[in-house]
């Protein structure tokens, strides 16, 4: 089991080594685009003006993403030398500056191997950066890190640079993670570590050889590392051999059985037909049901509040009025049949994921014998989360620790549920049995009539 479920990662000098590139990139721009304009201005003078306009930009724009804009720096620099409207020169300077940085930057040893293991262990990964979004996206794309990173959050969109809490909270919201299950990894004491400490998130300082201006022995991180093997150990990511097996996860209600909304379309009607004195509404039924599966009330209290005196009879009728979705059952049977008939194929684990209260499963089995197919059935009350919560899914992932995340296939009738899974590797298939507002674009659609 992982010690943390989410990572917030810095870019410069954490994933990618850019330690001494910015001064040399500035010198390159001077030689390529400015020196030929005049022999009067030396590089030292050019550099001093650049430093002045940079400080002025930071002062004017405070701690925001635009305060890091090299385009603005070069604009003000050219204005200083009377070249206000040489836009062609301005664009070439900023483009070549970042091109130089990209071509000379180096990714730290072990980064890709670590990120691959982290994602195959179902970690959610966000990049949190003060620099301009477009610049950091270029770096991430250049080193092909994009498939390992779920979101990139810059101070442009969060409204403030690190160490302000806003940028870290913004990132947590984007990857649906809580502070207690997250770890910030960065090299800079004054932004990454202080920011994490202020926000209440555990911190890990990466020190492969940090610049003196980026370190303070007065700002303490929970962990300190010099390589990514140490970070893997901290996270409890086991260096295990993954199998070629796959796991196929099927939605129960709305997937294997219909209708999509049995509480509303079946259970509520049964209660109203058999208990005339019951004043239960659909909203009240749903509210009480979620209190039940979250462990906030015993089942007896649940039925009493609904005015039901014979719950077993109600449950027998409830499941008796559901119907099997033959299309989805056939898909499940095919996965099971393929592995039984051909020993050369990968072993497939069949999982049923449901928001059904676990104690009601026996009634479902009296009507639909899915135990002969399923290797595991996950329930909300066993973990305290429903399927629409990201943490629900870890009970499945930890059940099959040798199946990598990329070998999962998720079949679900609810696009909101599939959206919850977007930060995990694996194929997402929408079982379309009713029209829904598109909140997530699946990899595939299976229509059920």
Nearest of 147, 117, 154 to residue 8 by alpha carbon: 154
Angle (nearest 5°) at CA 187 between 183 and 193: 50
Q: What is the mean pLDDT of residues 272-290?
A: 93
- pLDDT tens across 53-83, in order? 999 988 888 767 778 889 999 999 999 988 8
* DSSP strand pairing (257-258 vs 16-17): unpaired
Give the whole-number percent of the chain exceeding pLDDT 90: 79
Averaged pLDDT for residues 122-133 = 94
Task: Record the tokens describing residue 274, joined without a space.
Answer: 């058999």
The whole-number average pLDDT for the span 166-173 is 96
**More confident position, 430 or 2:** 430
Whole-prediction pTM value?
A: 0.89
pLDDT at 156: 86
Residues in the chain: 449
Q: Is the pLDDT of residue 16 over 90?
A: yes
Q: Higher confidence at residue 40 or residue 339? A: 40
Amino acid 220: pLDDT = 95
Torsion 169-170-173-175 (CA) sign:
negative
pLDDT > 70: percent of the chain: 96
Confidence of residue 338 (pLDDT cuts 50, 70, 90): low
Token pair 């730290």 is at which residue? 108
pLDDT band at 212 (very low <50, low <70, confident <90, very high): low
- The pLDDT value given to residue 426: 96
pLDDT tens readout for residues 171-180: 999 999 999 9
State the Cα torsion 407-413-299-176 to the nearest 10°. 60
- Secondary structure of 102-160 in the HEC alphabet? HHHCEECCCHHHHHHHHHHCCCEEEEEECCCHHHHHHHHHHCCCHHHCCEEEEHHHHCC
Is the confidence at residue 239, as pLDDT, over 90? no
Taking the mean position of all CA atoms in its chain, how far away is CA 195? Answer: 20
CB neighbours (10 Å) of residue 363? 18
**Could you read off the pLDDT of 79-108 as tens digits, one per residue?**
998 887 788 889 999 999 999 999 999 999
Whether pLDDT at 294 is above 60: yes
The mean predicted confidence, pLDDT, of the chain is 92
How far is CA 84 from its chain centroid?
Answer: 43
């Amino acid at each position: 089991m992982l010690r943390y479920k989410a990572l917030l990662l810095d870019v410069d000098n954490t994933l990618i080594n850019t330690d001494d590139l910015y001064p040399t990139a500035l010198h390159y721009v001077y030689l390529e685009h400015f020196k030929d304009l005049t022999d009067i201005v030396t590089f030292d003078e050019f550099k001093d003006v650049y430093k002045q306009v940079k400080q002025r930009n930071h002062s004017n724009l405070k701690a925001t993403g635009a305060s890091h804009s090299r385009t603005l720096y070069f604009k003000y620099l050219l204005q200083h030398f009377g070249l206000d409207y040489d836009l062609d020169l301005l664009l070439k300077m900023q483009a070549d500056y970042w091109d130089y940085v990209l071509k000379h930057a180096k990714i730290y040893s072990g980064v890709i191997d670590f990120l691959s293991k982290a994602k195959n262990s179902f970690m959610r990964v966000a990049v949190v950066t003060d620099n301009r979004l477009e610049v950091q996206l270029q770096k991430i794309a250049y080193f092909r890190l994009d498939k390992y990173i779920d979101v990139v959050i810059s101070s442009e969109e969060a409204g403030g640079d690190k160490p302000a809490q806003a940028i870290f909270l913004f990132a947590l919201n984007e990857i649906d993670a809580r502070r207690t299950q997250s770890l910030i990894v960065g090299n800079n004491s004054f932004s990454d570590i202080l920011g994490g400490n202020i926000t209440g998130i555990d911190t890990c300082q990466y020190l492969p050889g940090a610049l003196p201006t980026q370190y303070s022995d007065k700002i303490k991180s929970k962990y300190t590392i010099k390589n990514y093997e140490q970070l893997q150990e901290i996270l409890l990511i086991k260096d295990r051999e993954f199998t070629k097996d796959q796991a196929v996860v099927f939605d129960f209600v709305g997937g294997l059985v219909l209708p999509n909304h049995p509480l509303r379309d079946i259970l509520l009607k049964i209660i109203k037909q058999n208990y005339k004195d019951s004043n239960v509404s659909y909203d009240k039924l749903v509210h009480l049901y979620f209190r039940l599966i979250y462990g906030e009330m015993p089942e007896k209290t649940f039925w009493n509040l609904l005015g039901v005196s014979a719950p077993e009879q109600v449950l027998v009728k409830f499941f008796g009025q559901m119907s099997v979705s033959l299309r989805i059952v056939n898909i499940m049977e095919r996965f099971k049949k393929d592995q039984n008939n051909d020993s050369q194929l990968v072993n497939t684990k069949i999982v049923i994921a449901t928001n059904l209260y676990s104690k009601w499963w026996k009634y479902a089995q009296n009507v639909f014998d899915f135990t002969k197919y399923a290797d595991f059935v996950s329930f909300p009350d066993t973990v305290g989360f429903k399927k629409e919560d990201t943490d629900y899914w870890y009970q499945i992932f930890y059940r099959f620790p040798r199946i990598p995340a990329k070998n999962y296939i998720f079949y679900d009738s609810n696009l909101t549920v599939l959206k919850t899974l977007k930060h995990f590797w694996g194929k997402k298939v929408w079982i379309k049995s009713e029209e829904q507002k598109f909140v997530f674009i699946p990899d595939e659609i299976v229509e059920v009539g």
